[in-house]
Structure 1
Amino acid sequence: MSGEDSSSIEASVRVVLDKYTGKWEKPYSTQNLKRLYYHGLNKNAAKKIKDAGIDEDSLKKYIDDFSDEDKEIIAKKIQATNDNDPLMKIDQISYYCVNWLSRLVEEAINGQQKKPTISSGYNEKNDISLTIREEGRIFEKTFNSIKEIKLPLQNSRMRAFALLPVKGIYSHKNLISLLRKNLARYVFSRKNRNECDDLEELTAEATTELREFVRKCNPQILLGELLVYIFLEHCEKAPKIFTRAEFFHKYGAIDKKSVFLRENDEGWQLIVGTPNLSTTLDQTILATLEECEKLKNQNEFGDGPYVAEKLQSSFLEDSYYPEQIKKIESIMFPSLRRKSLGVQVDSYGIFLGYQVDDFGNDEERVKQLLIQDADRAVKMINNFVTNHDMQRHSIYVYLLPFKNPKYESSRIIDKLVGC
């Protein structure tokens, strides 16, 4: 990297944009270039970049020409950003950087980008960021996204997934790998993880906690909880506030629900996780929606949003730093001087795991079955929502078929934590 390229933040950003695009016209001021660095790509900037004509080979060649010493520095920064993953080989740096930038552009255009982890004076103790770990595109290697359907409710949609075969065979291998990477992140708060120096010890403790958790309920409940956590953080960019296992870890309570935070164009949503694994799709949908209706009735007849009741100050103090608590409370209980009344209703994150008898290893057949199931599920959900006056509540639904949910849940959880 030349001295000119590294002379300042804005110069570095400008060079990257020059190399990444074919016709970048340098429309950004120094201040705007700094803003891109500190706050990440916004939708308008991403569109300008794409319209300028992306040239991935140009940026890759530029990075390949860096010295080995510069590449080693970049590799160490990538390792630190990715929670101390194994150090990347220097010949992989250019591929990683180009793919990472291309992904950021697409996520910004689609409104799905993660909050930036680089900031002027950034302090992780102030941030409520996504917690899942999915390096190496492990999510995409685990799930085949079959269909996405927008539900006729506010900010609501359904996504149908299938487990991707491993070497042509139906397998839990990648799913177990994805879940194992995130056990400690699911069980422990950001504050607890930050204050622990030994990640291996924390993972071992998470395994012990979840072993106790599953003895109090069953493997299907734990698998559903883990999957709704993964899907909401990955698909909706909705970071967890707390999970069912966190409540169990702190208070021994087994019946609490996970809650997630999502920001959209209209404000904030607090999403209650309501997973369910059952024999048939119809049974799973009905049982889950009845649970959501119960929460809705509690919301409307005196108790308020589920999360408002559960976010006791002692829990927040144990799980969050002061600045994070202020942020959560400002969302839930905004100042009277603000026009917003805060989050008035719960949203629901619904994971539906169900049995498909005629499964096989034919990916195309599985795809067609899932499309039919998704269309049927939409009709059932729309009818239930209309008949039970739930139109004000956003719903995010994830479908995933199994050959035998009960048996497979036991196998998966046993490999993760032992039963």
Structure 2
Amino acid sequence: MVKEANFIYLIDLVNPYLPDAMNTSKEETVRLIITHASNGQYNPMPASSTLNGFAATGISRSAAKKILKFIDKETSSLEEYFRKIGADQLTIIANKLKNDSISTDVYRGKVPALLAKLFYDEFEKVSNRKNKRKQKKPTEDSGPGTTTNIELTIKDEKGIFDEALSQIKEIELPYQSSGVKAFALLPVNGIYSHKKLISLLRKNLARYIFSRRSRAESDDLEELTAEATTELRNFLRECNPQTLLGELLTYIFLEHCEKAPKIFTKAEFYQKYKSIKQRSVFFRETNSGWQLIIGASNLNETLDVAIEGALRECEDLKNESDFGGGPYSTQIFQGDILDASFTPEQIRALESIVFPSSNKDGSIIKIDSYGIFLGYQIDDTQDDLEKQLKSDAERAVETIKNSISNYGLDKHPIYMYLLPFKKLAYESNQIIDKLVGK
């Protein structure tokens, strides 16, 4: 499958190899590319948070247009800059470009010119992209009356979720309609088993990683499932089994429990951008309007550590939103990724929710919500598992109450799901191995 050489892909590609880099941060790489592409004339340089944002979600239209004003393709300063990369590193880049089907005949000597062209082409494409926030003016309100034809994607027609998992406890949090739900794996023939859970996940692999549009355009379910397995195996090389399992279960729980259809999953973003930094995004209708929910997960041997790790991640996202141009979840609507994943009617419906018309009160979506899956290890000598899980749920709520203000999340709805394992690392490895192999 041919990968798209967009800005995020290109930054990841050259990140470790730039000759005058002071470090290997993505921020530094973006800064150097902007500096050399613009012949050192791009001033002032964007703030660190903006540069990191470019690395994670793509360069902005305004920045691309500014760079193009200073580019001199005759002297090709960017190409000359890439020629300073070491020979061995150029060979590594060439092989990566071949493997990703960016270019089939590239070799070490061709890499500098090809890299320069790919960056120039990306700047041209982004600069010519329509500014959706300014040019698209939906007439629909973003309140609860707005409708979409974006349905849930998970397959659970025979109730396999309820055969695999039992909800033990649900506790509401005292703010923003949030809550914690504790689940347990149901035994198979009286034995602790992953069989039903694996079946539930396997039925939804293609639905997790492929967009609605991609699935609608395919008439071969077996081939699509096989391709999903291959794609997830590639994704797994960039993370670990715990990350993939956490992402899959976040998707399953949000769609099943909250009836919150996915917009994009982390693995979908990886397919397009070859980066695992992006987070899954879902949307949910409430009595007061719409929520955009960011998926987060943490699998840890200790429940308290898992909670703290997940809340810290949400805090980081909140801080990015506070200083980087609005809620993280709405930033994806500024790019072109929607075009390849949804029909024009669905895109218009989504944009009418996120960017309502100017004669309305404004978008209901002012902050991000968070959907958090927590996997943790329990003492398998416990005789009363249900009692233990209820206690865990109550302890999780107390931990959240005590921590939520410290993380600045008290205004953000949170949906949290707990699922215990007897041997967390071993079981997650086994589950993922049976789903996608090695």
Which TM-score band (shorter chain)? 0.5 to 0.7
After TM superposition, the structure 1 = structure 2 runs for residues 58-69 of structure 1, keeping only pairs within 5 Å, are: none
2:182–2:418 Cα contact (<8 Å) kept? yes
Query: 2-side partners of 1:375 and 1:387: how far apart?
Result: 19
Deviations 1:243-271 (A, max 9, x none): 00101112212111100000000100000
**Partner residue of 1:244?**
266
| Residue equivalent to 1:330 | 352
**Amino-acid identity (%):** 60
One-letter code aligned to 1:314: D
User: CA contact under 8 A between 2:181 and 2:418: conserved in structure 1?
Assistant: yes
Tell me the amino acid that sits aligned with residue 408 of structure 1.
Answer: E
**Structure 2: distance between partners of 1:358 and 1:413:** 22
Q: Which residue of 2 aligns with 1:366?
A: 385
Q: How far, CA to CA, are the matches of 2:284 and 2:326 in structure 1?
A: 18
2:431 is aligned with 1:412: yes
> Does residue 129 in structure 1 map to residue 151 in structure 2?
yes
CA distance in 2, matches of 1:377, 1:358: 19
Q: Deviations over 1:223-250 (max 9, x none)?
A: 0000000000000000000000101112
TM superposition score normalised by structure 2:
0.65
Secondary structure of the residue that 1:274 maps to in structure 2? strand
Counterparts of 2:273 and 2:395, CA distance in 1: 40
Cα separation, 1, equivalents of 2:364 and 2:346:
17
Counterpart among 365, 388, 391 of residue 407 in structure 2: 388
| Contact persistence 1:333–1:342 (CA under 8 A) | no
SS in 2 for 1:216: coil
What amino acid maps onto 2:406 in structure 1?
N
3-state secondary structure, aligned to 1:221: helix
Q: Give the 3-state SS of the residue equivalent to 2:301 in structure 1.
A: coil
Match of 2:309 in 1: 287
Aligned residues: 291
Q: Distance in 1 between matches of 2:276 and 2:309?
A: 19
Query: Hey, what's the Cα distance between the residues in 1 that align with 2:186 and 2:334?
Result: 41
Letter in 2 for 1:242: F
Q: What secondary structure, in the 3-state scheme, does the structure 1 residue paired with 2:375 have?
A: strand
What is the aligned partner in structure 2 of residue 227 from structure 1? 249
CA distance in 2, matches of 1:298, 1:153: 23
Report which stretch shifted further, 305-314 or 196-205.
305-314
Structure 1 outlier segments of 4+, above 3 Å: none
TM-score, length basis structure 1? 0.68
Which protein has greater RCO, CA pairs closer than 8 Å, 6+ apart?
2
Q: Tell me by how many angstroms 1:135 deviates.
A: 1.7
Which amino acid in 1 is paired with 2:322? Answer: E
**Structure 2 letter corresponding to 1:177:** S
- 1:378-397 deviation line (CA, Å, top 9, x unaligned): 00101111233322100000
Shift of 1:357: 1.9
| Separation in structure 1 between the aligned mates of residue 414 and residue 220 of structure 2, nearest angstrom | 38
Q: Which structure 2 residues correspond to residues 191-230 of structure 1 after superposition, within 5 A?
A: 191-230=213-252
2-structure distance, mates of 1:215, 1:387: 35
**Is there any run of 5+ residues in structure 1 with no aligned partner, and where?**
1-125
CA contact (8 A) 2:353 2:363 kept: no
- In the TM superposition, residue 272 of structure 1 has moved relative to its aligned partner by 0.2
Retained in 2: the 8 A contact 1:359–1:403? Answer: no
Q: Distance in 2 between matches of 1:274 and 1:359?
A: 30
Which residue of the partner structure matches residue 34 of structure 1?
Answer: none
Residue 359 (structure 1) shift: 4.8
